[in-house]
Chains A and B, each alone.
Chain A
Amino acid sequence: MTCPSDETLVLFADSEDNQPTAELTAHLDSCTACDERVRELRLALSEWRSTDLVDADSYSADYFAPIGADIERALDLSTAREAPRVVTGASLWWQRPALAAAVAAALLIAVGLLRAPPQSTAGPEAALATTESLEEVARELGRGLLDAASEDALVDDQTSLSFLASWNLDQAELFDELPPLPLTTTLADEFDLLSAEQVDSLIKRL
C-alpha cells in the first residue's frame, strides 16, 4: 500500500473509535513516517482540545442562572403574544402536569372511597359516614390540592370551579366535556402524591 492521504491520517488520528481498514493498520505498522505523522497529529489534536478558545471554566452555573431565567420569562411573554391565554376550566387544568396529577389523585381517591367504604377497622363515626360526606371530604381535598398546585397563579377561579363542578356527579354532562385525564397510574401511586399531613387529615376526617 502506498502512503495514505494526509486527510485519511488526520481523520484516523482524530477519531479514536474510527475503525481503520486492515490495509491502513498494516501500513502504519510498516511505515515509520505515517505512524509518526499519526502520533504527531494525535498529540496536536489532544492539545488543541484541551486548550479551549474561551476560558469555559470561569463561567459557573451562577453565571447561567439569570440567562436561563431571562429565557423562561421571555418565553412566557412570547407565548402570551403568540396565543393569548384564554383561561377556561376545561382547557387549562388538564394541560398542566401538576394540576393533572392533583386532579387525578383527588379523583381516584374519591372514586376509591365511594366504591370501597371504610372497613371495620374504621371508627364508629366513619362507619356512619354517608356518601355525601365522603364526597365532601374529597371535594375539600381536591380544593386543597388545586390551591397548592396553582401557587403560580396561572389557574383562576374558573378552573377551580370547573374542577369542583366535575365532582358533582349530578353534572355528568360537564364532566364528559372535559378531555380525558392521563390516568396511567394506580390509586396507590396517586396516593403517593399526597403529603403525610394530607393523608392523616383524610383519615381523621373519615
Chain B
Amino acid sequence: MFAQLVQQHQRSVFFLAMRLSRGDEQLSRDMVQKSFLQAWSHREGFRGEASFKTWLLRIARNLILNELGRAWRQRELLPDPSDGGSPAPLGHVEAQAFELLEAKEKRLMLQEAVAALSDRQREVAILRLYHDLSFAEVAEICGITTNNAKVNFHHAVRGIKKFLATQGVAA
C-alpha cells in the first residue's frame, strides 16, 4: 500500500525539490526519501482532510526549505553570478518573443525569473504552474490562506513578466 504511494508520488516530490533547489539532483533525491520516511512516521497524523499528495507535498516542502536554508546559509547552492555558474545574461536576446526562444533558453530564462521572486511567490508559482494544484491546495501546502496564495501568484506573474521584460524578452 505505502509502496504504491511511493511509486505514485515520488516524481512529484522529486521535481518539487528540483524546482525549488534550482536543479540540485542529489538534494532532491534525499528529499524524496526523507519526505516519505517522515510521512510514514507521521502517518497517524494524516486524517484525510487533504489529499495524500497535498499532505505529502507539505511535508516535502518544509523539508526542502529547511534544507535549502541550511545549504544557502553555507553558500553551497546559489552559484555566484560572477563565476560563470549562472546562465549567461540574456540581454542580447533583444526583443524576441519568449515563444521564439529555444527550449533550453526558455528554461534558463524562466529559472532566472523564478529565482528573482520572493521565497513565497516562488513556491506558490512553482506549485501552481508545475504541480497542477488548486489555490486551495497550494495554500494548504504553504500554510497560508487561499487568498494569500492568489495574491502571491499574482505578484509572481507580474514579477516573472517584469524580469523577462528587463531581459528584453516580451513574454
Contacts and interface: CB of A to CB of B under 8 A. Distances in A.
Contact of A53 (B7, B29, B130, B151): B130
Interface in B127-171: 128-130, 150-151, 153-154, 157-158, 160-161, 171
Given A68-B7, A78-B37, A78-B40, A49 B154 contact: no
Main secondary structure of the interface of A (DSSP, over half): helix
Interface size class of B (residues with CB under 8 A): 35 or more
B3 A11 contact: no
A7 B41 contact: no
Contacts of A82: 41
A21 B83 CA distance: 51
Given A47-B99, A54-B18, A10 B153 contact: yes
A68 B18 CA distance: 17
Given A11-B153, A54-B19, A45 B7 contact: no
A53 to B, nearest CB: 5
Given A51-B110, A53-B114, A53-B126, A68 B150 contact: no
A71 B33 contact: yes
A148 interface: no
Contacts of A53: 18-19, 22-23, 107, 110-111, 114, 126, 130
- A11, A47, A54, A64 interface centre (most CB from chain B within 10 Å): A54
Interface string A53-65: 1111001000010
Given A44-B161, A52-B130, A53-B130, A71 B154 contact: no
B116 interface: no
A64 B157 contact: no
Nearest to A40: B171
Given A53-B111, A59-B14, A78 B41 contact: yes
- A64, A71, A78 interface centre (most CB from chain B within 10 Å): A71
A67 B18 CA distance: 15
Nearest to B3: A72
26 contacts: A6-B158, A7-B154, A10-B153, A14-B128, A43-B99, A45-B157, A47-B99, A48-B129, A48-B171, A52-B107, A53-B18, A53-B110, A53-B111, A53-B130, A55-B107, A59-B11, A70-B33, A71-B6, A71-B36, A72-B3, A74-B33, A75-B2, A75-B37, A78-B37, A78-B40, A82-B41
Interface of B: 2-3, 6-7, 10-11, 14-15, 18-19, 22-23, 29, 32-33, 36-37, 40-41, 98-99, 103, 106-107, 110-111, 114, 126, 128-130, 150-151, 153-154, 157-158, 160-161, 171
Interface of A: 6-7, 10-11, 14, 41, 43-45, 47-49, 51-56, 59, 64, 67-68, 70-72, 74-75, 78-79, 82
